[in-house]
Amino acid sequence: MRTDFDAELEERLLRYTAIDTQSDEASDSQPSTAIQLNLSRLLEQELTAIGAKDVRLTDYGAVLATIPATAPDAPTIGFLAHVDTAPQFNATGVKPRVHRAWDGSAITYPDAPDLVLSPETSAYLGTKTGDDIVTASGATLLGADDKAGVAIVMTAARHLLANPAIPHGKIRIAFTPDEEVGRGVDPRLPKDLDADFAYTLDGGKLGEIEYESFSADGATVTIKGVSIHPGWAKGKLVNALHLAAKIVQTLPQATMTPETTEGREGFLHVYEMSGGAAEARIKLILRDFELDSLAAKGALLQQVCAAVQAGEPRAQIACEIRPQYRNMRYWLEKDMTPVDLARAACREIGVDPVSVPIRGGTDGSRLTEMGVPCPNVFTGMQEIHGPLEWISVQDMAAATKVCLRLMELAAP
């Protein structure tokens, strides 16, 4: 059944997802890809057109705007979503498709005839019979992560500006680049946002209000071998690729990997290996909900590298581990006001709130660490970062209502 905001949210989602905004971890530019600015500039224009104030595109690629307060004594609340899409799967030429009042049958894809989306492949989909389901065409991801969040924030902003009788404090909006490559929160953003607390619209199932995330480190292992012509290599060649393979093979395989863990279990994930016989590089991510367990995973990686180095002293093996983000629970549990507001707003619109730990991170993880408490609110996005990605328009509408209601609840 179509509900309030459905048409606007659907139209915005289809328009935004058709714009390629894929980020690039290997790029040193800010944002990492210039194409992200195509959507950012559009959002800057749209915010100006609906009457938002202080609209600007920062030199670090974030779009900022203000909705003036109608209840001046209420706190300033920020709402954020990221414009970039994940680099793990093709995001060029997205062709969004709407399955109106989905009847429960298997969804197929014109650009990938063997691909099937059904409750058997995505259990949550089985609860959405009758909803309007949006997918891509099979050749790309959809990009609801996080253009659904962008559409929700824009729809809520348009509604507030069109209805000034709704009581709320000053609202600050931020659309960030490069969240998918861990660079969504520029050091200048917390001050520029200037919010008492904030919310990222970057969550999954209906009702999820998340205040726990992984703590995250990234690691790069560099192996320098001894290069020589293979025809005269006996006793001289040290193949960096062989040593890289040995490191990967020595790391846990049956445990402590993404495909063998769930719930509150952390992991150590090899996601890229490159190079040649002379020099090779392994990139990994380390994830855990607790810092001591995260440190233990880093120590394990270093021990494996040291053992392989000891077995081949002619090689040079360096392991660099760098912090990425930390579990936002460490700060939010000291003052749960933003979380409690979102939960109360859920209940008031008839949705049961649920808080589960995020097996990942958001811009909110970094913002919270940097002094702006920022839990995460659901959008409905599912099966993200791949061709089966989908979302319910009605879940997006519920998220929009939660945002609007929590603003009112925060007003005295």
Give 124-174 as a DSSP string.
GGGG-TTS-EEE--SSS---HHHHHHHHHHHHHHHHHHH-TTS----EEEE
Q: The tokens of 288 are what? A: 């855990």
> What's the CA gap between 80 and 370, in Å, rounded?
15
In 3D, which of 265, 242, 246, 251 has the Cα closest to residue 299? Answer: 251
- Does 59 carry a binding-site annotation? no
> What's the CA gap between 49 and 125, in Å, rounded?
36
The two beta strands, 197-203 and 376-378, are: parallel
The residue with tokens 């390629």 is 20
Helix (H, G, I), strand (E, B) or coil at 404: helix
* Chain-centroid distance, C-alpha 48: 26
Which residues are known catalytic residues?
84, 179
Q: What are phi and psi of 216, to 5 degrees?
A: -135, 135
- Does 99 carry a binding-site annotation? no
Residues 6+ apart with CB under 8 A from 61: 30, 31, 36, 37, 40, 176, 177, 178, 186
In 3D, which of 387, 53, 365 has the Cα closest to residue 210? Answer: 365
In 3D, which of 100, 61, 85, 56 has the Cα closest to residue 147? Answer: 85
- Does 385 carry a binding-site annotation? yes
Strands (E), 329-400: 376-378, 390-392
> What's the CA gap between 158 and 403, in Å, rounded?
13
Give whole-number Cα distances, 94 to 101, 142, 257, in Å: 22, 6, 31
In 3D, which of 395, 394, 396, 381 has the Cα closest to residue 122? Answer: 381
- Does 180 carry a binding-site annotation? yes
- Does 217 carry a binding-site annotation? no
Residue ranges for the binding site for Zn(2+)?
Answer: 82, 145, 180, 202, 385
Residue ranges for the binding site?
Answer: 82, 145, 180, 202, 385
